[in-house]
Structure 1
Amino acid sequence: MRFVRFSLAGLLALALTACHSNSSSETAKAPAATSAAPAVGPKPGATSGKKRLLFFGNSLTAGYGVEPDQAFPGLIGQKIDSLQLDYEVVNAGLSGETTAGGLSRVGWVLRQPVAVFVLELGGNDGLRGLPLASTRRNLQGIIDTVRRRSPKAQIVLAGMQIPPNLGAKYAADFKAIYQDLATQNNLVLIPFLLQGVGGDRSLNQADGIHPTPAGHRIVARTVWTVLQPLLPNYITRRPSRFTSSRSSSRLR
């Protein structure tokens, strides 16, 4: 499987940790701590002749606390390979990333064109109580950069929600950012990335934030439902199942 993982930096385990994490990730021009784990698949910059499906996000995308092939981008890559689709999955998740950090490094990530760009950022902004106007502006900036660098790319926006710790209005306005941006920019929207996983202790690690392998399989199913129609040559007669290479359990 041609699956690229850019980095596995350490990330927040709790919301409080999020508020005090190293701010260097917000200014990084390229994914940091690349040596934390070896790349899986071809090295960044290598060409395979396949279309690129790029996941751009924080620790949820990076797969904090699980193996690369257990995180939802890895599971999507396995699904694509099983269907022999002409796509290469690239995991550009960076643990601890905020929308400001994402905006600063997205140009570096897009040195090669992409066919599908999945944008999963904003959760750390919300946990830190950052101004919503800044989060919205940064996400829009990332979208604009993708449109400039890869005009033909399909952009998928992964919606996120946060607990009402900072007030019900802040949480509601945060959630609304994703629907608003999707409508304004004609994006494909995943309403809530962690649907069926968020808040379920059995599907999250001890920190209550990051999914377990079982949780990632549910996230992968949610993402695949949205991605499937965007990938040409998808064979609809084949069942949509996700099987971890480390587990025989499947999501149907």
Structure 2
Amino acid sequence: MLRKRLIAALVLVALCGACTNTKNDKAETQANGTTDEKNAVAQKHILFFGTSLTAGYGLDPSEAYPALIQNRIDSLKLPYKVINGGLSGETSAGGKGRIDWLLKQPIDVFVLELGANDGLRGIPVAETTKNLQFIIDQVKSKYPNVKIVLAGMQVPPNMGSTYANDFKEMFPKLAKQNQIELIPFLLDKVGGVPKLNQADGIHPTAAGDKILAENVWVVLKGLL
């Protein structure tokens, strides 16, 4: 009889322990789930919207400057995910046509790098200005609290001094008018430097994109 009682007691203890472990496991799972949900909610998005310079033409995707910015962000454990919205050959008019599609995802920081192809094609500065303003307005309208950075560009002097100057001044004027941040010249220390550009003399090498990432980071880091 004593033996049966002892066995019954041991079984009861085992069952209680199993119940306790199950409750603990369930509580831990719920806690982890809550943490994951908080992390998902806390994560913010940076959209780089631009041309082949942003897309990383001729480079491995990991070498493009937006990817390098993501690496910097990860190293600092900041809750931002970079989205590369660069498209080779994109003009300001093309960007105007596809911005709404990209804004379907939540955006907290918007980096606008458009205009370079307009300049190379000699598109009137007034037209490019109008298109860039439209894009800025669309972004602000969809996400009123978004932080915007405009990447300044320049064109070669063979486009004519008047056009080149008007094009260069377009970016600071837009930045001031819209009260947004400005990268004075995205290709600073890279444009016109043969060893930092690919054979076409237009698109940066991997080493060149590292400098582009630094040019961007100088302005971007204050917004994060």
Both proteins in one fold, TM over 0.5: yes
SS of corresponding position for 1:178: helix
Where do 4+ consecutive residues of structure 1 move more than 3 Å?
none
| Counterparts of residues 63-142 of structure 1 (less than 5 Å) | 63-142=56-135
Report the equivalent of 1:57: 50
Report the equivalent of 1:151: 144
**CA distance in structure 1 between the partners assigned to 2:80 and 2:97 by the alignment:** 26
Q: C-alpha offsets along residues 21-76 of structure 1, whole Å, 9 cap, x if unaligned?
A: xxxxxxxxxxxxxxxxxxxxxxxxxx954100110000000000001110100000
**CA distance in structure 2 between the partners assigned to 1:48 and 1:209 by the alignment:** 39
Report the equivalent of 1:33: none
Report the equivalent of 1:183: 176
Q: Which has the higher contact order (CA 8 A, sep 6+)?
A: 1
TM-superposed deviation, 1:113: 2.0
**CA distance in structure 1 between the partners assigned to 2:159 and 2:185 by the alignment:** 19
Q: C-alpha offsets along residues 207-249 of structure 1, whole Å, 9 cap, x if unaligned?
A: 0000000000000011011111100xxxxxxxxxxxxxxxxxx
**CA distance in structure 1 between the partners assigned to 2:145 and 2:105 by the alignment:** 13
Contact 1:113 1:149 in 2 (8 A): no
Q: C-alpha offsets along residues 60-118 of structure 1, whole Å, 9 cap, x if unaligned?
A: 00000001110100000011111110000000001100000000100100002211000
TM-score, length-normalised on structure 2? 0.81
**CA distance in structure 2 between the partners assigned to 1:164 and 1:104 by the alignment:** 29
Contact 1:58 1:96 in 2 (8 A): yes
TM-superposed deviation, 1:197: 0.2
Report the equivalent of 1:202: 195
| Counterparts of residues 200-239 of structure 1 (less than 5 Å) | 200-231=193-224
**CA distance in structure 1 between the partners assigned to 2:158 and 2:141 by the alignment:** 37
SS of corresponding position for 1:119: strand
Structure 1 vs Structure 2 CA RMSD: 1.0
**CA distance in structure 2 between the partners assigned to 1:68 and 1:48 by the alignment:** 24
Unaligned runs of 5+ in 2: 1-38
Q: Is the counterpart of residue 172 in structure 1 residue 170 in structure 2? A: no
Q: Percent identity?
A: 61
SS of corresponding position for 1:64: coil
Unaligned runs of 5+ in 1: 1-46, 232-252
**CA distance in structure 2 between the partners assigned to 1:86 and 1:54 by the alignment:** 14
How many pairs are equivalent? 185
The higher radius of gyration belongs to: 2
Q: C-alpha offsets along residues 112-144 of structure 1, whole Å, 9 cap, x if unaligned?
A: 221100000000000000111110000000000
**CA distance in structure 2 between the partners assigned to 1:107 and 1:168 by the alignment:** 35
**CA distance in structure 1 between the partners assigned to 2:73 and 2:109 by the alignment:** 13
